[in-house]
Amino acid sequence: MIYPKIPLAQTVIELFKAKGIKHIVISPGSRNAPLTIGFTNNPYFTCYSIVDERSAAFFALGISQQLKVPTAVVCTSGSALVNYYPAVAEAYYSDIPLVVVSADRPKHLIGIGDGQTINQKNIFENHILYSVNLKLDIKDENNIPENEELPMLKNLEGKLERFLGLQKDIQTHNEEEINEALNFALIKNGPVHINIPFDEPLYETVEKLRVNPKAQKPALKTKTIEDYVLNECLEDWNSTSKKMILVGVNHPNEIEQKWLNELAEDDSVMVFTESTSNLYHESFFPSIDQIIAPLTEEEKKALQPEILLTFGGLIVSKKIKTLLRKFQPKYHWHVDEKMANDTFFCLSNHIDVTPNQFFSVFLPKITHYVKSNYNAHWTAVKNKRLEKHNEYLNSIPFTDLKVFDMLFKSIPNNHILQIGNSSAIRYSQLFNINKNNTVFCNRGTSGIDGSTSTAIGCAVVNDKPTTLITGDLSFLYDSNALWNNYIPKNFRIIVINNRGGGIFRILPGHKNTKNFETYFETTHNLDARHLCRMYGLTYKSVSKEKPLEYYLKEFFIEDDRPKLLEIFTPKDLNDEILLQYFEYLK
């Protein structure tokens, strides 16, 4: 087998293999050549070459999102690394394991005006679980430069490490730090950064390993709920008649169905779910905004829970946030083994186990259900809202709202839905999504910058077909996502093109002015036709209801190429239809 000659590169590759990190996304470059040689010549690894670093990192994020194991993304030195930052931030706030591996110049070549160098140490400081700078190997005796002077004191540390440090000590340090970083990614579920200095020559290879690094197992701690915490929760639960469960981003099949069924039987409990919750029960309350938007202040007060129990990731609905911040529960419990956000400014208890663990010890101890009409009352409201929802949709012209209704009725079973941010995810909140499909969205930072790349990464490691539903700005922003050779033929993209940032027409502001259209809505006349031709996707466009009905019937049929359907909607009408929708629900 071919290995890079540099011992540090060999150490990284062997420890990644030992830790089971199989998927390696490589952004081509020169300084990372030792890593590229090692990963691509080892049959254990599945390697991908993606030139655009921002796209590469989101592609890797999509793989980790699906497999729930770390994926590595590897780049050269300089600005390449900075382009990983949006995906690193998303991974940080979405609890997705991502291993960022950056090649770097040796310390004595940084800060002297050498090309393609920046200060890479701790570059992700505020959005990383663990960050390490590895140490440069001591060169072979014959290759050590002689008579080098140290013109600047700041270079002293790097020189001393090279000439006075022992290679054995450096090797031990590097192995420990790599192990620690990878264990953080594996156990803490988030991004880590390994910065690796390489000196030239970079492309030399050997046929035998010079190192034998030892993989250190992560220290696993089994978390349990302390008895006094459990008893306090039970006492409060059994004495309150209005309990709300609000579920944010949640991976499919993470909660046992028997616990969901038990919650559904309790008349004092309402379970609000979002599109990204991936939880379904006929007694639950999806389409949160559909319930809340028409409420009067008195009705909002009536909805106010005494106990709010939350789990999962970040919440999409602004309306539920506003309501619960104004009409705060007496108790807010958040169940998550990692952290608890005080989203509603009333957090009273962080229960640091998984939701499944919590329900398995908590629900069996509930001996009786509190008598309440909380669920029944709001179920009646939900049913009335659904009637009005269907009435309205049958009466409106072809607009964004109509399109989303048609889409969710047309997508076949067993699809993975990747939904873009901004308008796309908010429209999806108004519909009951097929329980046989799963939904993902980059809600950690809620940015539009990497939705397509994430979706393609997701599609690459799935047998199920993946469909991305996205807006025009998000799609165009991330168009380099299509610049790779890995897009599966069963991948589908649906672009709702309303000629700009349509969400800004819904938000309060001075719309219909030149300043608004240029600097907020960013009106344009672009489409995806030529991008599809360049990247080899089958392209269709539609701007009316009947043709859309026809195209949706054939859009999901198997083909020998991925497909993109672009749906043009009237930008000057979309916001009016949506705002009137909430009025109609009243």
Give the separation between CA 27 and CA 95, rounded to whole angstroms. 23
3 state SS for 364-420: HHCCCCCCCCHHHHHHHHHHHHHHHHHHHHCCCCCCHHHHHHHHHHHCCCCCEEEEC
Q: Dump pLDDT digits (tens) for 188-200.
A: 999 999 999 999 9
- What is the average pLDDT across 256-274? 96
pLDDT value for 218: 86
pLDDT value for 501: 57
Instruction: Work out the percent of the chain whose per-residue pLDDT is above 90.
Output: 84
DSSP class of residue 20 equals T
pLDDT at 211 over 70: yes
Q: Dump pLDDT digits (tens) for 458-488.
A: 999 999 999 999 999 999 999 999 999 999 9
- What is the average pLDDT across 336-343? 94
Residues, the chain, total?
Answer: 586
Say if residue 199 is exposed, middle or buried (CB neighbours under 10 Å; 0-12, 13-18, 19+): middle
pLDDT at 225 over 50: yes
Least confident of 263-272, 468-477, 495-504: 495-504
Closest CA to 452 of 59, 148, 29: 59
Q: Dump pLDDT digits (tens) for 12-61.
A: 999 999 999 999 999 999 999 999 999 999 999 999 999 999 999 999 99
Closest CA to 18 of 53, 49, 42: 42
Which two three-digit tokens encode residue 259?
């616990």
Least confident of 9-23, 331-345, 383-397, 497-511: 497-511
262's enclosing H/E stretch is helix 257-264
pLDDT value for 149: 45
Banded pLDDT at 145 (limits 50, 70, 90): very low
Banded pLDDT at 153 (limits 50, 70, 90): very low
- 3-class DSSP state of 206: strand
- What is the average pLDDT across 238-252? 96
- Domains within the chain, CATH numbers bracketed: 3-205 (3.40.50.970), 230-377 (3.40.50.1220), 396-585 (3.40.50.970)
pLDDT at 112 over 90: no
- What is the average pLDDT across 542-567? 95
Banded pLDDT at 69 (limits 50, 70, 90): very high
Q: Dump pLDDT digits (tens) for 407-457.
A: 999 999 999 999 999 899 999 999 999 999 999 999 999 998 999 999 999
Q: Dump pLDDT digits (tens) for 295-319.
A: 999 999 999 999 999 999 999 999 9
Give the separation between CA 144 and CA 17, rounded to whole angstroms. 31
Looking at per-residue confidence, does 229 or 516 come out higher? Answer: 229
Kindly report the number of other CB atoms within 10 A of residue 542's CB atom: 18
Banded pLDDT at 531 (limits 50, 70, 90): very high
Q: Residue 200: CB partners within 8 Å, gap ≥ 6?
A: none
pLDDT value for 467: 98
The backbone region for 312, taken as left when phi is positive above 0, alpha when psi lies in -120 to 50, beta otherwise, is left
Give the separation between CA 158 and CA 146, rounded to whole angstroms. 15
Distance of CA 339 to the CA centre of its chain: 17
pLDDT value for 272: 98
pLDDT value for 179: 97
Q: How far is CA 481 from CA 10, 455, 476, in A?
A: 30, 9, 10
Looking at per-residue confidence, does 116 or 235 come out higher? Answer: 235
Banded pLDDT at 520 (limits 50, 70, 90): low
